[in-house]
Homo-oligomer: A and B are copies of this chain.
Amino acid sequence: MGQTEISSLGEFGLIDRITQDFPLRNHSSKYGIGDDSAVLEFGDKLTLVTTDLLLEGIHFDLRYVPLKHLGYKAAIVNFSDIYAMNGTPKQITVSLGVSSRFTVEHIEELYDGIRLACEVYGVDLVGGDTSASVTGLVISVTCLGESDKNDVVYRNGAKESDLICVSGDLGAAYMGLQLLERENRVAAQSKEGKNFTPDFSGKEYILERQLKPEARKDVISMLKDKEIKPTSMMDVSDGLSSELLHICKKSNVGCRVFEDKIPIDYQTAIMAEEMNMNLVMTAMNGGEDYELLFTVPLTDHEKVEKLNGISIIGYITNPQLGAAMVTRDGSEIPIIAQGWNAFKKDE
């Protein structure tokens, strides 16, 4: 692969090159890249907007995250926020800060991932900003979505006796990160140097959960099909504990979740064992799962029980009872947020 210095294209040249293969697919995207702003038309739909900032050295490590995967993930985490409102992502803008060690080909790789995510989820790239950066890579993504007026689901609607549900399984992305970091440490110490081959066999699932997460578009469709409207919903990005506390706080309720109901993949369990980590804590606090956490009225019990890939993990209580996990032996331990905190100094 040739390596082209970004300065040889300049800002506008770079933008032209990386945005040429992004057609507009959505009716609501009236005008995309190339003017002072994009122009969108949502008509009688509500517009949803969410944004995420990803910084090299804080949110990702390019030693083990390929740029294409990074682009894909940067888009997905924003789509996930729109699905978590029971909406459909429609447009994104992507701003990049790029230091001089990156070439045009690197940026194209990153955009390959963004393009793939846009194709898979039917989202249009409609704008952005591209600039030099003094240090590492900076990625800022904003996503717009739409929803019918009565469809939006907030975090604040959970009611006492509602069932707490979660899609997929938890903790795998976090264990995937542990695996990548371990293999990276081993590689650094290895005598084989660059010829060192990390051992990922039997761990493909947790690796994929970390490197190529998906947003749960399918869950939103399934809920719509089955005419289930959650009373509250959010995506699991900082870890289940943290998200449960958000729902409890916003809805002014308490909750009980059962340790033995928390869905965990066996690869996650094996990796936690290998790393000598507490499995349930991993699943509760790992983060980056991008699963959907939602509550439904107790009357929907039969409907949700039949749903594929959805686990009922607990129920909503009155606020006085607080948030707690019921362990296998029936005792209760309070849920405290131990999710990822970008400002914690001792990490």
Interface of A toward B, CB cutoff 8 Å: 6-7, 9-11, 14, 30-31, 34-44, 46-53, 55-59, 81-82, 84-85, 87, 91, 93, 95-97, 100, 126-136, 138, 140, 142-145, 147, 149, 152, 154-156, 234-235, 250, 341-345
Is the pair B140, A31 in contact by a Cβ cutoff of 8 Å? no
**Is A82 a contact of B37 with CB atoms below 8 Å?**
yes
Q: A55-B134, A58-B131, A342-B11 are in contact. Are A44 and B43 (CB under 8 A)?
A: yes
Contact B85 A51 (CB under 8 A): no
Task: Please give, as numbers and ranges, the residues of chain B lying within 8 Å of A144 by CB-CB distance.
Answer: 47, 49
B47 touches A40 (CB 8 A): yes
Chain B nearest CB from A133 CB (Å) reads 5
Q: Which residue of chain B lies nearest to A49 when distances are taken between CB atoms in the complex?
A: B38
Identify which of B38, B51, B152, B250 contacts A93 (C-beta below 8 A).
Answer: B51
- Using Cβ atoms and an 8 Å threshold, which residues of chain B touch A36? 50, 81-82, 84-85, 155, 234-235
* Inter-subunit contact A37/B87 (CB<8 Å): yes
Q: Closest Cβ of chain B: how far from A139's Cβ, in Å? A: 9
Cα-based distance from A152 to B338 in the complex (angstroms): 48
Q: Are A134 and B58 in contact (CB under 8 A)?
A: yes
Known: A11-B341, A51-B140, A53-B140. Is A250-B34 also a contact (CB below 8 A)?
A: yes
Give Cα A84–Cα B135 distance, bound, in whole angstroms: 32
Q: A14-B343, A131-B342, A131-B343 are in contact. List 16 more A-B contacts (CB 8 A).
A: A36-B50, A36-B84, A37-B48, A37-B143, A38-B48, A41-B47, A41-B149, A42-B42, A50-B93, A50-B127, A53-B96, A56-B134, A59-B131, A130-B342, A132-B342, A134-B135
